[in-house]
Amino acid sequence: MIGTEGQYLYQFTVGDREDFIQEEDLISFLLVEEAGNVLPSFELGFTTKDEKILSYLNEGNSLKITFGRTKDNLIDVSLSVLYLETNKGGESKYMIELKGLLSSLPYVSVGKINIFESLSGVEVINQIASNYFIPTFGITKSSDSQNWIQANIPDKKFVNDVWMHSYMADSFIGIGISSDGKFILKDMKALVSEESLYKFTTNPEKTKDVYYDGDYKVVSKTGFFNHWVGYGRQKHVFNLEDGTESDSLESTESLLALTNTLSRTSDISKRIAEVGVIGDNVHVNYWKAYLRNLQSLAIFSSSSISFSFHGRYIPIRVLDLVMFIEDELNHKQANEHYSGKYFVTNVARNIANRQFATTVRLSRESFGAIRGDLR
C-alpha cells in the first residue's frame, strides 16, 4: 500500500495481482472527476518487473483502486483501461502508461429502448443511475411528469436529454459523477442555503478549514457563455394541440456572488433561440425547463478559481458547496471580489514523486463587487 496512515493511502489491484504497485514503482496516478454527466477519468504510470501484468491490462479486467486517509475508511473504485502504452526500461523492467474511465462503459455505449411512464425527470434519472452508480440525490422528483421515451440511445445520452428538460420552479438541476461511483443530483438553489462543507483558507483554524497553496488561478469565461446563452435566449413555442403560440425567456439571478448584477453588458437584453413545438406528449414546461437548466448551468460555470492543496486526502466531491477565503493584498481581511461560496466543479487527485496533491476548480455565476454598465 502506498502512502502514510492518516494522510493518504492507495492500493492498486488487477486480476489476481493484489497491491501490484509499490511506492518505488509508481510514477504518477491522476484521478479526475468533473461536474456534469461525465465519467471520471484516470491516468496511471508505473514500472514493473512482472511481465504477466501486461495480460491483465485491458477492458476485460477492472483496475481496482482502494484509497482514503486511514485503513478504517477506504473507498473502492473500479476503472476500465482504454489506453495502454508500454516501453522497456532497461533489461529488467517495463514502463507502463494507462488511461481510462470509471468502469461503467455500458452507460455510455449500449443503446436501449425504454418507456418510462408518468414519471418526473428526476425519477427517471434515478432509475437509470441506480443500474450503474450509487444514487446520491438531494431531491426525489422534479416538478414535471410525462412519458419519457428512450429511442435506442445509450443511457448517458438519454439522461442528458431528460436532465435538460426536467423542471424545477425557480431553480435548476446539477449533476455529477464522483470518482467513488456516486451519481450526484442536486437542487442547486436549495444547495446555496446549506452550510459549506469546507472552507479553503491560508489561515486554517477549524477542522473543516483546508489550507490551500497561494498560487491560485482565476478564469472568467463570461464572453463565451454570455454570447451562447448568458444574455437569455427567447424561444418561440408553438402548441400543436390547440394552435396557440407563446414566448419563453428565462432570467438567471445571482445566488452565490455578492453582487446584484452578473458580468454581462446591459446593452444586450436577449438573443433569439430557434422555434420549438410542444404537445400533449410532453409536460407543459418542457422548453422552459431546457432554457432554465442550460442557461443557469452555463452562467454558474463562467467564473472559476483553481488551486491545489497537499499532503492529505479530503473526501471532497463535485457539486459540494464550499467557502473560499482570499485576503486582500497587504491586508488581513477577506477580498470581497473572490471570497465567498462556490460550487465544486472539478476534483483532480494526483500522486507523483511520493507527493500527494489535490487540485480543485470552484465555480459560480460571477465574482463579487463587480462594477460597470451591467445587468
Confirm if 62 and 98 have CB atoms less than 8 A apart.
Answer: no
- Give the model's pLDDT for residue 51: 85
Instruction: Count CB atoms within 10 A of the CB of residue 245.
Output: 9
Residue 106 phi, psi dihedral angles, 5° rounding: -60, -30
Q: What is the DSSP string of 158-171?
A: HHHHHHHT---TT-
Query: Dihedral sign, CA of 198, 29, 213, 296?
Result: negative
Per-residue pLDDT of the chain (375 residues; tens, 9 = 90+): 898 898 899 999 998 888 899 999 999 999 999 999 999 999 999 999 988 899 999 999 999 999 998 998 899 999 999 999 999 877 788 999 999 999 999 999 999 999 999 999 999 999 999 999 999 999 999 999 999 999 999 999 999 999 999 999 889 999 999 999 999 999 999 999 999 999 999 888 888 999 998 788 999 888 777 777 877 788 899 888 888 888 888 877 888 877 777 767 766 777 888 888 888 999 999 999 999 999 999 989 989 999 999 988 999 999 999 999 886 544 554 466 788 999 999 999 999 988 999 999 999 988 876 666 665
Alpha-helical runs (H) found in the chain: 105-109, 121-129, 155-164, 188-192, 222-225, 286-299
- Give the model's pLDDT for residue 328: 55
Cell 441506480 locates to 130
Which residues make beta-bridge pairs with 361?
306, 346
- Give the model's pLDDT for residue 247: 86
- Give the model's pLDDT for residue 304: 94
